[in-house]
Chains A and B, each alone.
Chain A
Amino acid sequence: MKRIDHAEASSKFIKAKDHLEFHDQRLWDLRQKRDRESEQIPEWEQLRVLASAIKEHTLTHLADYLEEFERNATANGARVHWARDAAEHNQIVLDIMRARGARILVKAKSMLTDECEMRPFLENRGIEVMETDLGERIQQLDNEPPSHIVVPAVHKLRGDVARVFARTIGTDPKNSDVHYLAESQRQHTRPYFLKADAGMTGANFAVAETGTVVVCTNEGNADLSVNLPPLYIASIGIEKIVPKIEHLGVFVRMLSRSALGSPITQLTSHFRAPRDGCEMHVVLVDNGRSERLGMPDFWYSLKCIRCGACMNTCPVYRRSGGLSYGATYSGPIGVIIDPTFNLRRYSSLPFASTLNGSCTSVCPVKINIHEQIYKWRQVIAERGALPFVKREAMQVAGKVLSNPKLYRAAVETAGAGIEHLPRFMMYNRLNAWGRQREVPAAAPQTFRQWYLKNRSKP
């Protein structure tokens, strides 16, 4: 697979000025709302410490808690399945549906099913899949992946949505009123809830001691997906386990505040057992998570509760858009997860960061995101996945900067024009600096030269 060129993709995003301004401001608004909410809670920083500790404890006892979850969910009457990878997950879902003659699946938002590329898999095998979350549905109709893990269509303006809906569900192309568009989608989706054979959700949390699947949503679509069809399937990444119901309180207090700057989601639904005469299936999915858990520098990324706060605050994400990352997970959390799926394909992503650290500071579970980005860069260079030009520039820089004589020869070229600027400072992409910025002029004398004239002792 081709290497993702984040810089190139971001350049296209930036050219669409209206979209860029809206995207940046909309997500910055979410960041500010998050600030206002967290300020209301004096113990916010303690909650972060606690949330992090619960997650670290759970992850270091993961096998035990997963088995406890399986026992309790089974006792509740759910069927628990284990999927080693995306392919197994998709096949399990297909088998469950086929065995019951199910043809139509209504589903709530789930990043995991995007990660597994489940929708095309099922669609190619005769299953009709309906995304019922508004943002996910827009993206489905436009045949695009979500650009944000919480607000999947945030890169689109309402005019874009009007065009997508006009093309696909027959709305008035000239009407981009948001209420009209949302209502049109609702009317279009409702009948599917009634005729669906199966419903699906992801999970925000899965509680080991009760075997409960917890889903936090704002639109009510998850509850309809679960409670109308006779068959319910929950797809859950194994890192979503929390030990006890009492731990939920810590995370529920932080999730929506971090994500959208609202105190809580409209619905926090606990799905515990199948309805009378119906079935409930839980698919626990690994898909690289166990391997990540074994990485000393990177296992902390499994603490993630998918709130998207790191994306909202990220100045690079806000100005490049989620699709520029070319991966299921974008923004800071994506940058540290994606290379575990395919190092070479996603090798540019850890460089799509200024290492500013804002992500780390808003993360409700205290993932050291920017430190992991720094570490991923080392891994990518070690594995020979750096672009040649950067690799070469750094080798030259390392030689020059470790040798005072070479260094001085490079910088002490009084009055040199920009064409003589030392290569280690401007690299081979001098033009890239100068494309939208003026280039600094080298000083007539270096500090060291001044020092020797003005301070050196005879």
Chain B
Amino acid sequence: MKVALFVPCYVDAFFPEVGIATLELLERLGVEVAYPLDQTCCGQPMGNSGCEEDAAATEALFVANFAGFDYVVAPSGSCTHHVRENLTAVRQTKETLKVRKATCELVEFLHDVLKVRDFPWAEFPHAVGLHNGCSTLRALRTAKMSEIEEPFFSKPLDLLSRVKGIRLVTPQRPDECCGFGGTFSVFEEPVSAKMGYDKVTAHQKAGAEYIVSADMSCLMHQRGCAERLGLPIRFIHIAQILNGARA
């Protein structure tokens, strides 16, 4: 099994600790992970802005970087979603289609491919609220969404519930969008910030000390909101908790 790590641009620049935790966790689980050094981005910022033409070269680079692998693992649901559903600006060669299919969000990879259920090194003695990013929830379908009547399931909770000492809390409107939305966060700033305020306040009211997510981009926005509001809430990526972070 040839596995590559994709560290999205914003994680690379702002949250290298998330990339490190992802890599270390996969290594702990005995996976040999390659990190293609010329990787940059999946093309989502341009695609989501309507500029697929401007995304084409970035998508081509993504395909070139990851063509040789059985799995491309990313600690980001929204990037994974872009690659799977919307990596359409680049020519749809056999290679492109293979890369699109091979790309996997970290929780999915742990839960469905490696089928890991135990993280004996992980202990997180805090009250934690889970935030499922919208692409992760409604497109990758890693958990039951409130809109659809179906039996409960949650891949991130399956994993987190095996962490020692963790106390999971549920905010009001648990799967309402937090308002990040990529360029939405700047071009629709008033609504974006209000949604973020509502989201972090709901977690705080539920007693969360931390908000955990498989999507660091949502957390970047939420953290900015919480800091501005002066809420004592902290933010952590699911890879960090599963890799054994204590705080």
Binding site for B on A (CB under 8 A): 6-7, 10-11, 14, 20, 24, 28, 35, 38-39, 44-45, 313, 315-316, 319-320, 350-358, 360-362, 374, 376-382, 386, 390-391, 394-395, 397-399, 401-404, 407, 411, 422, 424-427, 429-430, 432-433, 435-443, 445-452, 455
Contacts and interface: CB of A to CB of B under 8 A. Distances in A.
Contacts of A391: 51
A432 B189 contact: yes
A338 to B, nearest CB: 16
Interface in B169-194: 173, 176-177, 179-194
Contact of B16 (A316, A350, A443): A443
B26 interface: no
Task: Please report whether the interface of chain A is mostly helix, strand, loop or mixed according to DSSP.
Answer: helix
B58 A398 contact: yes
Given A357-B134, A361-B148, A440 B16 contact: no
A425 B9 contact: yes
Interface of B: 7, 9-17, 19-20, 23, 35, 37-41, 43, 45-58, 60-61, 86, 134-135, 138-139, 145-150, 173, 176-177, 179-198, 220-221, 223-225, 227-228
Given A378-B52, A438-B228, A401 B181 contact: no
A381 B177 CA distance: 25
B180 A354 contact: yes
A365 B182 CA distance: 28
Contacts of B40: 401-404, 407
Contacts of A7: 187-191
B50 A386 contact: yes
Nearest to A410: B13
Contacts of A432: 186-187, 189
A399 B37 CA distance: 18
Given A378-B52, A397-B54, A448-B7, A315 B177 contact: yes
B41 A401 contact: yes
A432 B139 CA distance: 28
Contacts of B54: 394-395, 397-398
Contacts of A35: 146-147, 149
Contact of A437 (B20, B58, B86, B196): B196
Task: Please report whether the interface of chain B is mostly helix, strand, loop or mixed according to DSSP.
Answer: helix
Contacts of B176: 315, 358
A306 B7 CA distance: 42
Contact of B10 (A39, A315, A360, A425): A425
Contact of A401 (B17, B58, B148): B58
A391 B12 CA distance: 25
Given A357-B139, A378-B52, A433 B149 contact: no
Contact of B147 (A354, A361, A411): A361
A28 B35 contact: no
A6 B195 CA distance: 16
Contacts of A360: 138
Given A404-B61, A437-B227, A438-B228, 5 more contacts: A361-B138, A429-B186, A437-B224, A443-B16, A450-B20
A390 B187 contact: yes
B188 A316 contact: yes
